[in-house]
Amino acid sequence: MKSRFVSNLLLTFVWVALTGDFGFQNYVFGFVVNFFILWVITRGNSDARYFTLLPKLIAFFFYFLWELFKANLQVAYEVITPNFRMKPGIVKVPLTVQSNLGITFLANMISLTPGTLSLDVSNDKKVLYVHSMYITNREEFIKGIKNGFEKRILEILR
C-alpha cells in the first residue's frame, strides 16, 4: 500500500514537472489523474487496498467536517441564546475498536468536536468514557458515536 502511495506521489511530481505549472491545483489534479491511472493498471490485483482506503479517508474527512460544523452551530447557539439547553453528562460508550491506534483516533475525533470530550478508556479497552454538553438520550448518544466515528474508523483500519 505504501508503495502505491509513493508511486502516486512520484507520478504527481512527474506530472507537475512535465506541465510546468507548480500551482496547488495542478498538484491535486495530477494526484487524482495518477490515482485513476494506477487504479486502472492494478484493477485485477488483490493487493490494491490503497484504492479503497483513500476514498474512505476522504469520506471520513468530510464526515468529520460536517460533524464539526453541526457541533459548532449547536455550541454557538447555546452561547448566543439566554436560556441554557445543556444537559451535561458522562456516558460509557462500549468500544468495538480494540487497537490502540483506533481507540486513540476515536477519542481524538470525539474531543475535537465541540461539546464533547473523551475522558478515559477502561483498562480492558472495552469502554470509552465521554463527557457531553447535550445528553438527552444516552442510547441515542452512544448509537451516534458507534454509527458515526467508530464505524468509519473501523472501515479505515480494516
CA–CA dist 32, 18 (Å, integer): 16
Where in the chain do CATH 3.30.70 domains reside?
68-157
Beta bridge partners of 93: 128
> If you average pLDDT over residues 113-126, what whole number do you get?
93
CA–CA dist 32, 25 (Å, integer): 11
pLDDT tens, position by position, 18-55: 888 888 888 888 888 888 877 777 766 656 666 677 78
Nearest residue to 121 (alpha-carbon basis) of 102, 140, 149, 141: 102
Contact at 8 Å (CB) between 133 and 116? yes
Asked which of 1-5, 50-54, 85-89, 106-110 is least confident by mean pLDDT, the reply is: 1-5
For the chain, the average pLDDT equals 86
- What are the contacts of 36-42 at 24+ separation with CB within 8 A? 37/11, 38/4, 38/7, 38/8, 38/11, 42/4
Report the topology of domain 68-157: Alpha-Beta Plaits (3.30.70)
pLDDT tens, position by position, 7-17: 777 888 888 88
Q: Does the model's pTM come out above 0.75?
A: no
Amino acid (one-letter) located at 131: H
**What does the block give as the cell for 68?**
464539526
What is the dihedral angle through the alpha carbons of 52, 148, 65, 98, rounded to the nearest 10 degrees? Answer: -70
Residue 54: what pLDDT?
A: 77
